[in-house]
Structure 1
Amino acid sequence: MKRSAVLSVVAVIMLALAGSPLFIGCGKQGGSSVQPVTVNIALANNPNSQALAKIAQNEYKAAGVTVNISVLPENDLRQRLTTEASTGGITYDIYYIGPYEAQTWAKNGWLENLDPYFSKLSAERKTWYDREDLIKGMLDSVSLNGTPYGIPFYGESSFIMYNKELFAAKGLTMPQEPTWQQIYELAKAIHDPSKGIVGFTMRGTPGWGMSGAPFVTMVNAFGGKFYDMNWNATVNTPEQRGAWEMYKKILREAGQPDILSYTYNECIGLMASGNCGIYYDATSLANDLEADGAKTKGKIGYVMAPHDKLNKNTAWLWNWTMGINPKATAAKKQAAFDFMLWATSKEYIAKTIASDPSGASTPPASRSSTYKLAAYASVPYTDATLKTLEGIDFTKPCLDPVPYVGLQYIAIPEFADAGDIMTRNLADYVVDNITLDEALRRTQQTFEAVAKEGNYKK
Structure 2
Amino acid sequence: MRTSKVLSLIMSLVLLSIGIQALAADVTINIALANNPLSQALDKIAKEKYSAPGVTVNIAVLPENDLRQKLTTEASTGGTTYDMFYIGPYEANNWAKNGWLENLEPYFAALPADKLTWYDRDDLIKGMVGSLSLDGQAYALPFYGESSFIMYNKELFAAKGLTMPDEPTWDEIYELAKKIHDPSKGIVGMTMRGAPGWGMSGAPFVTIVNAFGGRFYDMDWKATIDTPEQRGAWEMYKKILREAGQADILSYTYNECIALMQSGKCGIYYDATSIAPPLEAEGSAVKGKVGYVMPPHQKMKTNTAWLWNWAMGINPKSSPEKKKAVFDFMLWATSKDFIKMTIELDPTGASTPPASRASTYKLPVYAQTPYAEMTLKTLESTDFTKPTLEPVPYVGLQYIAIPEFADAGTRMTEYLADYVVDKISLDEAIKKTQDLFNQVAIDGDYQK
Instruction: Give the TM-score taking structure 2 as reference length.
Output: 0.87
1:332-360 C-alpha deviation (Å, 9 max, x unpaired): 43443233122101011122223333322
1:120 shift after superposition: 4.2
CA distance in 2, matches of 1:402, 1:218: 16
- Please state if 1:41 is matched with 2:30: yes
CA distance in 1, matches of 2:46, 2:283: 28
Amino acid at match of 1:414: E
1:37 shift after superposition: 5.6
1:300 shift after superposition: 0.9
Amino acid at match of 2:190: F
- Which of 250-259 and 200-209 deviates more? 250-259
- What's the C-alpha RMSD, in Å, of the aligned pairs? 2.3
Among 240, 248, 254, the alignment partner of 1:250 is 240
Among 337, 345, 351, the alignment partner of 2:335 is 345
Among 420, 435, 439, the alignment partner of 1:430 is 420
Q: Compared with structure 1, are the counterparts of its residues 83 and 160 closer, same or farther at alpha carbon in structure 2 (3 Å cutoff)?
A: same
In the alignment, is the contact (CA less than 8 A) between 1:135 and 1:390 conserved in 2?
A: no
Q: Compared with structure 1, are the counterparts of its residues 437 and 388 closer, same or farther at alpha carbon in structure 2 (3 Å cutoff)?
A: same
SS in 2 for 1:207: coil
Among 298, 302, 306, the alignment partner of 1:312 is 302
CA distance in 2, matches of 1:406, 1:37: 41
**Which residue is 1:398 aligned to?**
388
**Which residue is 2:19 aligned to?**
none
- Please state if 1:441 is matched with 2:431: yes
Amino acid at match of 1:219: V
Q: Compared with structure 1, are the counterparts of its residues 60 and 420 closer, same or farther at alpha carbon in structure 2 (3 Å cutoff)?
A: closer
**Which residue is 1:31 aligned to?**
none
1:65 shift after superposition: 4.6
- Please state if 1:193 is matched with 2:186: no
- Which of 134-143 and 447-456 deviates more? 134-143
1:204-231 C-alpha deviation (Å, 9 max, x unpaired): 2222222111101101111111112221
Among 358, 378, 389, the alignment partner of 2:368 is 378
1:103-132 C-alpha deviation (Å, 9 max, x unpaired): 211111101122333344444333322222
**Which residue is 1:10 aligned to?**
none
Among 316, 319, 323, the alignment partner of 1:333 is 323
Q: Compared with structure 1, are the counterparts of its residues 79 and 192 closer, same or farther at alpha carbon in structure 2 (3 Å cutoff)?
A: closer
**Which residue is 1:230 aligned to?**
220
SS in 2 for 1:305: coil
Among 194, 216, 219, the alignment partner of 1:204 is 194
Q: Compared with structure 1, are the counterparts of its residues 51 and 256 closer, same or farther at alpha carbon in structure 2 (3 Å cutoff)?
A: closer
CA distance in 2, matches of 1:415, 1:87: 19
SS in 1 for 2:385: coil
1:183 shift after superposition: 1.0
Among 153, 174, 186, the alignment partner of 1:184 is 174
In the alignment, is the contact (CA less than 8 A) between 1:212 and 1:408 conserved in 2?
A: yes
- Please state if 1:83 is matched with 2:94: no
SS in 2 for 1:68: strand
In the alignment, is the contact (CA less than 8 A) between 2:55 and 2:325 conserved in 1?
A: no
1:53-84 C-alpha deviation (Å, 9 max, x unpaired): 4444554454x551422214234433332222
Alignment of 1:45-60 (within 5 A): 45-57=35-47, 59-60=49-50
- Please state if 1:73 is matched with 2:58: no
SS in 1 for 2:55: strand
Q: Compared with structure 1, are the counterparts of its residues 399 and 37 closer, same or farther at alpha carbon in structure 2 (3 Å cutoff)?
A: farther
Q: Compared with structure 1, are the counterparts of its residues 193 and 330 closer, same or farther at alpha carbon in structure 2 (3 Å cutoff)?
A: closer
1:142-199 C-alpha deviation (Å, 9 max, x unpaired): 2224332100112322110111122222222212121111211222232333433322
In the alignment, is the contact (CA less than 8 A) between 1:311 and 1:398 conserved in 2?
A: no
Alignment of 1:270-289 (within 5 A): 270-289=260-279
* Bigger Rg over Cα: 2
Among 98, 107, 116, the alignment partner of 2:106 is 116
- Which of 189-198 and 99-108 deviates more? 189-198
Alignment of 1:23-42 (within 5 A): 36=25, 38=27, 40-42=29-31
1:439 shift after superposition: 1.3
- Which of 105-114 and 399-408 deviates more? 399-408
CA distance in 1, matches of 2:70, 2:189: 40
CA distance in 2, matches of 1:206, 1:61: 38
In the alignment, is the contact (CA less than 8 A) between 2:144 and 2:355 conserved in 1?
A: yes
In the alignment, is the contact (CA less than 8 A) between 2:30 and 2:58 conserved in 1?
A: yes
In the alignment, is the contact (CA less than 8 A) between 1:84 and 1:91 conserved in 2?
A: yes
- Please state if 1:389 is matched with 2:383: no
Alignment of 1:150-189 (within 5 A): 150-189=140-179
1:203 shift after superposition: 1.7
> Identity of paired residues, percent?
71
Amino acid at match of 1:292: E
In the alignment, is the contact (CA less than 8 A) between 2:277 and 2:351 conserved in 1?
A: no
CA distance in 2, matches of 1:67, 1:391: 41
Q: Compared with structure 1, are the counterparts of its residues 199 and 109 closer, same or farther at alpha carbon in structure 2 (3 Å cutoff)?
A: same
CA distance in 2, matches of 1:439, 1:290: 38
Instruction: Give the TM-score taking structure 1 as reference length.
Output: 0.85
1:42 shift after superposition: 1.2
In the alignment, is the contact (CA less than 8 A) between 1:98 and 1:320 conserved in 2?
A: yes
Amino acid at match of 1:70: I
Aligned positions, number: 423
Amino acid at match of 1:69: N
Unaligned runs of 5+ in 1: 1-34
CA distance in 1, matches of 2:244, 2:92: 37
In the alignment, is the contact (CA less than 8 A) between 1:140 and 1:394 conserved in 2?
A: no
Among 400, 404, 409, the alignment partner of 2:399 is 409
